[in-house]
A and B are shown apart, each in its own frame.
Chain A
Amino acid sequence: MADKSKKISIWDQKIIRRAVVDSFRKLDPRTMMRNPVMFVVEVGSCLATLQLVRGIISPVQGVTDTLFELQITLWLWFTVLFANFAEAMAEGRGKAQADNLRRARTETTAKRLLPGGKTEVVGAPELRKDDLVLVEAGDFIPSDGEIIEGVASVDESAITGESAPVIRESGGDRSAVTGGTRVLSDWIKVRITSNPGETFLDRMIALVEGASRQKTPNEIALAILLAGLTIIFLLAVVTLQPFAIYSNAPQTIFVLVSLLVCLIPTTIGGLLSAIGIAGMDRLVQHNVLAMSGRAVEAAGDVNTLLLDKTGTITLGNRQAAEFIPLPGVTEAELADAAQLSSFADETPEGRSIVLLAEEKYGIRGRELAPHEARFIPFTAQTRMSGVDLGGREIRKGAVDAIEKYIAGDDGGARLREARAALTVAVRSAAEVSGGAATKELREIVERISKQGGTPLVVADGRRALGVIYLKDIVKGGMRERFDQLRQMGIRTVMITGDNPLTAATIAREAGVDDFLAEAKPEDKMALIKREQSEGKLVAMTGDGTNDAPALAQADVGVAMNTGTQAAKEAGNMVDLDSNPTKLIEVVEIGKQLLMTRGALTTFSIANDVAKYFAIIPAMFSGVATLSALNALNVMGLRTPQSAILSAVIFNAVVIIALIPLALRGVKYRPMSAAALLRRNFLIYGLGGLVAPFAGIKLIDVIIHAAGLA
């Protein structure tokens, strides 16, 4: 899980200081132009400033009100600065993450392998793709690469925050190494897979810093909406002046700019990019790196989650759940034999058998002296393990293996026999241990298989005692999570290599919606394509090279950091913790990001109603023929100046007030879209309608008390 040290407080002093400076730097119109809403505010502020200066130099009797004009101008600038500050805060948090990462990118040297087998020492930046390097214990791995020879334990804490070292070895799915990590023991030969500046770490830094940040599709769409609204309000305000002139009540620049700034969606306009950056940042805090903002957005839209059974839904290993004795054998007898056979079995399954016997039957572990016991380890040939103890030969193993053993097979010699011979063996076994017992054994074995378990038969000598029921253990809390996902309208599909019978049982137990049994990589691919052809978005996790095509095809492909380079390249996210269950959190973060955008947009638009009731009466109540409009001053604001000022201040302050919400995100709750909508519509729609009435009134009271207007 996320390393706590990576979490950065919203109120981190250093970030705030940097953000303050940046918010002034961002006033550069070339930067501001990227955000049309705030650019309009900046232009308005400039106009107000010019007018202010003009008023100070040559005041117009009865029109110029320098105290009011100064305050309006200042607050207009504050509005721009606050929006810049929000963006700078979000970026600052990203930069702080990047600084953490940069520490890992210390300049290192590399031992480049020369064709003759010798090595030369070069600086890491000189390494190019396909160079071969030797990395020994204590060395930093100079760049991203793939182990071509050797096995080593590697400290990857610089990237993952996880202090326990991991094993990396050539071949298979654990061959990828990341530049900046350190080899703790042994040595490896690495083929470099990326050029300087393109390494994983480089990309990570660029991503969290927001350097390569591009607007996501939904963000672009929302920006268009906001720009459109801005133009509409610009129209409404610009044409208000002729109507005011018609009504003999022309307005000053300050009032018109104030009205415009209050109406255009500055709240969401000012916070939009901060929300996007913060969404990426939240993923980073969960130790997930998204290669693009688009992927985060897609995560919120996911309709189908493909989850690997092993390691995601179930614990990686099966565990003993029950001892089922054959007739004439007591459970305790079976448990005792099972435990004896497993003492030397260091596999999780073996340990679970010892533990079950201990817990259920109180059979304590015994000291077995080496001279009296001979442990028979599991081999791929015998597919049995066990112990020879005081003349007893206790074995456990798959049913056919044990049956062969009982039939007198020594476990090796007749292994390669044909299936026909096996049948004969089983028949002879039936003669030895009695037909009824074998039939019983078969039944038990079949029943366990049907329930999705793995039966292990225990035999003492030539006599079968019973069966150990090994079960896939569904991780705690998974059923609840799947229920939550279902409420959100997300379908979960379990992917497993098990047979359909076993898969169905586990699927039922875990509460997934569907399963894909006996899945081969191409089946997975076909499933993704089928879902996508129905318009659905699919998310999956993967680590192996054979997962790569599916990861690339999926809309959200989370590659495990322990996975191969190919998998990491193919996915659009990398989970540094390599925890496949995290896919669910990724989806939640995506949803949270979108919800935050929607909530603040709704809030921003709903806010406008109150501002009208503050500014419109204030604009015209001073004119004798229009003073009847003061009836619209439902908030009872003291003076026209104070009313306009209060609306402008509220508009600016609300940006600052909502920065924490923008950075943290709207709280996500798993519930149906209808329930979510009702909830958020009430909070941000209705709340957005009501809140400014109270806020503006409060500011008006304060301003009046302070004698500012």
Chain B
Amino acid sequence: MTPNGWLQILLFLAVVLAVTKPLGLFMTRVFEGERTFLHPLLRPVERLVYRLTGVDERREMRWTEYAASMLLFSLVSMLALYLIQRLQGVLPINPQGLPGVDTAASATGGYVGSAFNTAASFTTNTDWQAYVPETTMSYLTQMLGLAYHNFASAAVGIALAIAFIRGIARKEANTIGNFWVDFVRCNLYVLLPLCSVFALVLVSQGVVQNFRPYDTARPLDPQSAVQTIAQGPVASQEAIKMLGTNGGGFFNANSAHPFENPTPFSNFLQLVSIFAIAAGLTYTLGRMTGSQRHGWAVLAAMVVLFLAGVTTAYWAETRGNPILSGAGVDQTVSAGQSGGNMEGKEVRFGQAESTLFATVTTDASCGAVNSMHDSYTPLGGLVPLVNIMLGEIIFGGVGSGLYGMLIMVILSVFIAGLMVGRTPEYLGKKIEAYDVKMAMLYVLIFPLIILVFAAVSSVSSSFGTSQLGNAGPHGLSEILYAFTSGTGNNGSAFAGISANTYWYNTAIGVATLFGRFMMIVPMLAVAGNLARKKAVPPSLGTFPVTSPLFTTLLVSVIVIVGALTFFPALSLGPVVEHYLMYAGQTF
């Protein structure tokens, strides 16, 4: 670890904290229906959208209707993406002439469930990519299918978070907002303007944006094979890939690819954009619930967990591999070399920017990568895995991170709230049996999906372990990571596992759907139930949700509940691998 590295990490955090308030304030105004500086331009467009779609923007929905609208919308979008993929061979804007996904002519040579996996994965903001984009997806599919979902799934997440906040903030109300209105406003006022600006900045850094067929480059050495230079409309997709915590790369190498992430500046902006909206939403939470300090306390918990993760990963990676040190390899970090464990990392990013990226992309459910997590040291690789296992709530996916965190807040308040001698209440709302039931359901579904799928895969040699690139504990980490990433809607790959198979495509696809929608429904049920309640005015006897003590408590509950759930599995994966590495054994 170097002072320079820490400076980069802390500068990143400082910028994220700096954009929290302005973004949060802006989103509050947007979702409260107040005027913003964009209204003169966009309000007519918004009205037009409602007129065309027949949405009454003043009509409020109960949580059940909100959930049903969201599910229906997601289902239709998902089917559309599935069809676009299968039919891309006959659709336009396909200069490479790529065949339909899962067809006999495609790279997989037949049906392996890849189109379903991708459709599920992009609908759920996961963006797990079993396919290789440059040889699989046409430009039309990338833009109309994938980039569309990058906007849609992000807007759905943010809308849900706003609905949840309304549930907390409203008193004796039956409704939690209108899904269509929240969705439209999120896209129109938040995502589209931000992404337009961001995409242009990325272009200025060298991110490509064109519709040309791939170029070929003839190396000077005639013996070498001809290289194909993939390109396309990258910048427009890159912006929402980061801001919407989607993470699905235009290219297989994702943000390690120079066309996606060409410069240190673009790398820094991508990092900030992953956290920006999630951080801003904590401010929106404080604003809308009238307890700004609670918003900051929640953000503080996220920051603490983020710092713990990045410190561990950065430390483990710069420390490098002891076996190499034993063999006389110089792994020290110096001006002349990046140092540490550089396998799978870009030299241009070095240790700090790589481990920071790995931490940020898994804290948030982004899943974009600028280095290969599979090549990390066991502890370095444990960090991304644990980040996702904690439920994608350290900033988390846009919207989903906040509502996931708030479910943990409710559980923390319930467990510890009793200790102040009152039945637990959260910002004046009593936490009762129904809320606990739904919150537990939310918490329960997550490990259920991960552990069951991973357990099945780990004992099946025919479809499970046969796809592993590594044996022993590292292989187990690969399986665990795949299902954790899918269920957590992260989408980053540990790699090392050939997941473009029928079993993994189907299982991970199902995991993404369950991990998203089976958790959203109980979450919305909590929101609807909270909205109906009376609010007890705060007093000295009220459980404090604004203090550093609360933040400590929240972090403890998240870590203990998360760790207790996954520690047995992790102990046989990265944990034992770590000790074995120090005993001189690798996998």
Contacts and interface: CB of A to CB of B under 8 A. Distances in A.
Interface of A: 217-218, 220-222, 224-225, 227-229, 231-233, 235-247, 249, 259, 263, 297, 300-301, 303, 486-491, 533-537, 590-592, 594-595, 597-599, 601-602, 605-606, 608-609, 612, 616, 620, 625-626, 628-629, 631-632, 668, 672-674, 676-678, 680-681, 684-685
B564 interface: yes
B458 to A, nearest CB: 4
Contacts of A599: 418-419
B583 interface: yes
B580 A681 contact: no
Interface in B549-587: 549, 552-553, 556, 560-561, 563-569, 571-573, 575-576, 579-580, 582-583
A222 B443 CA distance: 15
B579 A225 contact: no
Interface in B161-188: 171
Given A239-B452, A534-B537, A629 B542 contact: no
A684 B575 contact: no
Contact of B422 (A233, A628, A673, A684): A673
Interface stretch (B62-70, B391-399, B430-438): B430-438
19 contacts: A221-B432, A225-B411, A225-B414, A227-B440, A228-B440, A235-B451, A236-B567, A243-B458, A243-B568, A301-B423, A303-B536, A490-B541, A534-B534, A606-B560, A608-B564, A628-B579, A629-B571, A681-B416, A685-B556
A595 B541 contact: no
A595 B423 contact: no
A602 B421 contact: no
The 5 closest A-B pairs by CB, nearest first: A489-B541, A598-B418, A591-B421, A228-B440, A489-B539
Given A224-B433, A300-B423, 6 more contacts: A221-B432, A245-B459, A595-B421, A625-B472, A677-B420, A681-B553
B372 to A, nearest CB: 23
Tell me which of B416, B424, B447 has the highest count of chain A C-beta atoms within 10 A of its own C-beta: B416
B572 A626 contact: yes
B569 A612 contact: no
B569 to A, nearest CB: 5
B447 A677 contact: no
Contact of B451 (A239, A533, A595, A674): A239
Given A235-B447, A677-B544, A247 B476 contact: yes
B333 interface: no
Nearest to B547: A674
B496 interface: no
A246 B458 contact: yes
A510 B472 CA distance: 73
B416 A677 contact: yes
Name B's interface SS: helix
Interface of B: 171, 411, 414-424, 428, 431-433, 435-437, 440-441, 443-444, 447-448, 451-452, 454-456, 458-459, 465, 472-473, 475-476, 534-537, 539-544, 547, 549, 552-553, 556, 560-561, 563-569, 571-573, 575-576, 579-580, 582-583
Contact of B571 (A303, A632, A678): A632
Nearest to B442: A228
A668 to B, nearest CB: 7
A537 B451 CA distance: 44
A681 to B, nearest CB: 6
Contacts of B433: 217, 220-221, 224
Contacts of B569: 236, 239-240, 243
A237 B447 CA distance: 12
Contacts of A228: 436-437, 440-441, 443-444
Given A221-B431, A487-B540, A595 B420 contact: yes
Given A224-B437, A246-B572, A239 B454 contact: yes
B446 to A, nearest CB: 9
Nearest to B425: A301
A522 to B, nearest CB: 23
A224 B579 CA distance: 38
A306 to B, nearest CB: 16
A236 B566 contact: yes
A489 B540 contact: yes
A673 B422 CA distance: 9
A537 B475 CA distance: 57
Contact of B440 (A224, A490, A677): A224
B523 to A, nearest CB: 15
A605 B458 contact: no
Given A236-B569, A626-B576, A673-B542, A594 B536 contact: no
A232 B443 contact: yes
B566 A243 contact: no
Nearest to B568: A240
Given A224-B436, A239-B454, A243-B455, A674 B567 contact: no
B458 A676 contact: no
Contact of A232 (B171, B475, B536, B565): B565
Contacts of A668: 421
A631 B544 contact: no
Contacts of B565: 232-233, 235-236
Nearest to A674: B544
A144 B201 CA distance: 85
Contact of B544 (A606, A609, A673): A673
Nearest to B543: A673
A436 B534 CA distance: 60
Contacts of A535: 171, 428, 534-537
Contacts of B422: 300-301, 591, 594, 673
